[in-house]
Amino acid sequence: MPRSKRLLTDERSNILVYMTGHGGNEFLKFQDAEEIGAFDLAHAFEQMWEKKRYHEILFMIDTCQANTMYSRLDSPNIIATGSSELDESSYSHHADNDVGVAVIDRYTYYNLEFLESQVRDMNSQKTVGELFDSYDFDKIHSNAGVRYDLFPGGADGARSRLITDFFGNIQKVEVDQGQDQVLEEELLGLSKTIALLREKDAEQVAAKRANSSTPSVPVSAPTDTAAGSARKVQGATALTTDNWLTRKAVGATAIVGCVALWGLGALLEK
């Protein structure tokens, strides 16, 4: 996969995997063309754990018989929840009159409602357990399920996790010390350059102010010099076509003479 489509996570990363669509017993369809099964999902999470691609995963799925999709998971540090049990449908919430189809499912709708109303900012202390407790059959119209056994500490450990650990959380990133030092050196050099430019600019401004404060003495050119220059310009002879042709002929004659003298000298040397 190209780098732009990679998750680029490591063993310190918390990951939210949210899947929604049409499905059935241990499978989820992708636009009626392809599907992923519960064993495929379990294998993917297993590969991620072996390659140290996550620290903890919150897996949520909204589809018919959704809870069967996490039945095959066996990798550690996973909290899983789904919208409906085996042989149970998952229902949509409402349809859009312009589009003419349902635009959101009930399970997803009430998850979003809880997040928007209860989790105000990144300092929220709302836990995953409180989110799960908000699931109500009368609202979702199906039995949402939760799996805690893969998580360290079981139900207590999983339910105490903050929602912001998975939804919209920004973890602190450790920057390589070598790169950090290079960046500091570049910033220091840039600040020195800016300081020098400011000093030069201040000096130029001071010099301009000093020049503007010094009284200027007007200097007038002598009248006779200006008159003499005018007389010289008026006495100049314009270069006509005849003069130009004459000078050209003289120059060509001189060149031919030089060539002839050079040839004569060469003959005499022989």
Higher pLDDT, 117 or 250: 117
State the pLDDT confidence band at 240, using cuts at 50, 70 and 90. low
- Cα angle vertex 109, ends 107, 111, to 5°? 70
28-37, 151-160, 212-221: which range is least confident on average? 212-221
Q: Where are the alpha helices (DSSP H) in 82-170?
A: 106-118, 128-133, 137-140, 154-159
Query: Residue 190 is which amino acid?
Result: L
Catalytic residue among 55, 64, 141, 258: 64
Higher pLDDT, 118 or 243: 118
Residue 248 reports pLDDT greater than 80 = no
What pLDDT, on a 0 to 100 scale, did the predictor assign at position 233? 45
The DSSP result for 160-227, as a single string, is TSBGGGTSS-----PPPHHHHHHHHHHHHHHHHHHHHHHHHHHHHHHHHHHHHHSPPPP----HHHHH
Give, as one character, the DSSP assignment of residue 249. H
What pLDDT, on a 0 to 100 scale, did the predictor assign at position 230? 46
The whole-model pTM stands at 0.62
76-80, 150-154, 211-215: which range is least confident on average? 211-215
Residue 201 reports pLDDT greater than 60 = yes
Residue 227 reports pLDDT greater than 50 = no
Sign of CA dihedral 10, 15, 20, 23: positive
What pLDDT, on a 0 to 100 scale, did the predictor assign at position 266? 59
The DSSP result for 15-28, as a single string, is EEEEEES-EETTEE
Catalytic residue among 22, 43, 55, 141: 22
C-beta atoms surrounding 45 within 10 Å: 26
State the pLDDT confidence band at 36, using cuts at 50, 70 and 90. very high
Instruction: Give yes or no: 22 in active site.
Output: yes
Closest CA to 56 of 180, 181, 145, 152: 152
Beta bridge partners of 145: 82
Main-chain phi, psi angles of 149, to 5 degrees: -65, -20
What pLDDT, on a 0 to 100 scale, did the predictor assign at position 197? 86
138-142, 166-170, 183-187, 217-221: which range is least confident on average? 217-221
What pLDDT, on a 0 to 100 scale, did the predictor assign at position 180? 57
Above pLDDT 90, what percent of the chain? Answer: 51
Residue 98 reports pLDDT greater than 60 = yes
Higher pLDDT, 262 or 21: 21
